[in-house]
Structure 1
Amino acid sequence: MPIKESELILNPDGSIYHLNLKPEHIASTVIFVGDQDRVSKVTSHFDSIEFETQKREFKTQTGHFKGKRITVISTGIGPDNIDIVLNELDALVNIDFKTRQVKEKLTSLDIIRIGTSGSLQENIPVDGFVLSTHGLDLNGMLHSYQINSISNLDIEDAFIEQTNWHTNKSRPIVIEGSSKLLQKLESNKTHKGLTATAGGFYGPQGRVLRLAVQDSELNCKMDVFKFNGICISNFEMETSAIFGLAKLLGHEAMSINAIIANRAVGTFSKNPGKTIENLITYTLNKIIE
């Protein structure tokens, strides 16, 4: 049965609604960045750019880096934006826009998030790189989907118990990243850990300006959380949503973050721009190895 127009929304030119993209515009390797200005910082290393477009915060450029075709997309901030970007990316490769039906042969994309983050562990220094073995979803967006096949109940239960997680909040979900992309991107320059994903920047990450948070000790509890050698390495706003939706849709996904702050010791990078640039060049060169 064809997908209804209200569910799969296309623009008058046939492109997908939010991203403003057609299937031929994207490569099988896709880099996610949050900031739309960071798209050109990545593609400035490309040999050529064949296509670019922007609609709202979603900026896309596709081109070639040392012979490999790569697409770079800005997602904006937060899991709600990831919900838009990943569902529409999947539609571009796995739904026939003419018949509005799911294709018989499905395509799997390689999706790599290049982001910035704050470390929760003293041993992960400012200006370091963190590869996410898992995403810890604290925001609840993924509960809109059927997630039983991708959750990790043992780690989730341990986290709930060790943090005394409030029952009024969404149940935390833990999702593994792509082992294939993890092996491709790791080196002696990277740290590995579980990345926590919040639904906001202030209260959801324990920051207090004028509003009190529900659990003022949550960050301290997260700092010391451990399960079979797994600890929470860093805190940001996209990784778990990327991992969860990618796994449900059959794509490979990995998140690599430049650590620009260490919240455990209260330090901030002296030159975050250089750290991000170093991460961009590191990731691009790892992709083509």
Structure 2
Amino acid sequence: MNSVYHLDLDSEKIQGAKIALLPGDPFRSQVIAETISGIYGTYNRKLAWKREFCTYLAEIKGKRLLITSTGIGGPSASIAIDELAQLGIDTFIRVGTTGAIQEHINIGDVIITSGSVRLDGASTHYAPIEYPAVAHYEILNALVEGAKKATVRYHVGVTASSDTFYPGEERYDSFSKYVLRRFQGATKEWQRLHVLNYEMESSTILTLTASLGLRGGCITGVVNEGGTGKITKESLKAGEENVIKVAIAAVECLI
């Protein structure tokens, strides 16, 4: 029996699952699992919760899948992917929230990442920076079909994936109110380059899965207002609910 340390899982516990949904927030693992059970009338079970890694087992149309939280950022996401791969998972879909930087993108829309700008460090421990962080085409197609099935407005394109929430996303509402020169004006530049959004895990997830010969994808729900950094309880709820609906529909398409 194969076991892994950080996730507190083993090959027996996961019962042959091959697909993993990867929220950042550990409490979202339960929400996703219960949503799946509500839609399909199937069971769900918490397998483990250690540090930021909370894992549930669920079932869609007779196929078991895991919902494992990764915490915030690339380092912990890389641990989750590596250890899940060691247990036999071969398909990974990040299910998160995001801040849009294009004005035509609205609260509650979902962004399907085709590729990521690698503003992280963790991914460079698996592949050099020249290696592209790209989604697997089968996952990308399934996410698009899932959005159509769930009737949720979606956008497909490039994401800027940063190791830090404040300076890396050019936020000036931090403790210091200062952003290093390398990030000053970055948002305007990404906008001009048609980057859709900021988030913190996709570059790691897509680089690892592609370089390891696995299938990876990323879908995020928009939680900010009008291309600004402002997030409210209502906007967060809208983004979370829609991204979960689309992710579940996408898994059904894959199955």
Return the TM-score normalized by structure 1. Answer: 0.75
Q: Structure 1: which 5+ residue stretches go unaligned? A: 1-12, 94-107, 152-173, 226-230
Question: Deviation per CA, 1:136-159, whole angstroms, max 9, x where unpaired?
Answer: 1112222223437x72xxxxxxxx
Q: Structure 1 pair 266/54, CA: closer, same or farther in 2 (3 Å)? A: closer
> How far apart, in 2, do the equivalents of 1:276 and 1:145 lie?
30
Alignment of 1:7-156 (within 5 A): 15-26=3-14, 27-45=17-35, 46=37, 47-50=42-45, 52-93=47-88, 109-147=90-128, 151=131
Once residues 54 and 140 of structure 1 are traced to their aligned partners in structure 2, the CA distance between those partners, rounded to angstroms, is 26
Question: 1:82, CA displacement in angstroms?
Answer: 1.2
* Contact 2:106–2:226, Cα closer than 8 Å, also in 1: no
Deviation, 1:50, is: 4.6
Amino acid in the other structure paired with 1:38: R
In the other structure, the counterpart of 2:191 is: 223
Q: Distance in 1 between matches of 2:13 and 2:46?
A: 7
**Partner SS, residue 187 of structure 2:** helix
SS in structure 2 of the partner of residue 288 of structure 1: helix
* 1:279 positional shift: 2.1
CA distance in 1 between partners of 2:9 and 2:231 (Å): 37
In the alignment, residue 68 of structure 2 is paired with which amino acid? I
Per the TM alignment, residue 262 of structure 1 is displaced from its structure 2 partner at its CA by 4.2
The answer as to whether partners of 2:23 and 2:94 remain within 8 angstroms in 1 is yes
Task: Tell me if 1:214 matches 2:214.
Answer: no
Aligned to 1:234: 197
Residues 116 and 276, structure 1, Cα contact 8 Å, conserved in 2 = yes
CA distance in 1, matches of 2:220, 2:206: 14
Counterpart of 1:252 (choices 194, 199, 215) is 215
In 1, the alpha carbon distance for the partners of 2:72 and 2:221 equals 16
The correspondence of residues 167-182 of structure 1 with structure 2, limited to 5 A, is: 174-182=132-140
- Are the counterparts in 2 of residues 68 and 288 from structure 1 also a CA contact under 8 Å? no
1:217 deviates by 1.2
Give yes or no for contact 1:25–1:51 (8 Å, CA) kept in 2. no
Q: 1:204 corresponds to which residue?
A: 168
What TM-score comes out, normalization by structure 2 length?
0.85
Give the greater-gyration-radius structure (CA): 1
Residue-by-residue CA offset, 1:178-225 (whole Å, 9 max, x unaligned): 111111110453211101110111112111232421232111111112
Q: Is the 8 A contact 1:130 1:257 kept in 2?
A: yes
**2: distance between equivalents of 1:31 and 1:20?**
17
Farther off after superposition, 269-278 or 43-52: 269-278
Contact 1:126/1:259 (8 A) holds in 2: yes
1:184 aligned partner: 142
Shift of 1:49: 2.0
Measured in 2, the distance between the counterparts of 1:199 and 1:177 equals: 19
**Structure 2 segments unaligned to the other structure (5+ residues):** none
Contact 1:77 1:238 in 2 (8 A): yes
Residues 1:120 and 1:49: Cα distance change in structure 2 (over 3 Å) = same
Residues 278, 239 of structure 1: alpha-carbon distance in 2 compared, 3 angstrom cutoff:
same
**AA paired with 1:178?**
H
CA contact (8 A) 2:97 2:239 kept: no
Task: Tell me the distance in 1 between the aligned counterparts of 2:104 and 2:3.
Answer: 46
RMSD: 2.1
Counterpart-to-counterpart distance in 1, 2:94 and 2:81: 12
Measured after TM superposition, the shift of residue 51 of structure 1 is 5.1
* Cα deviation, residue 125, structure 1: 1.3
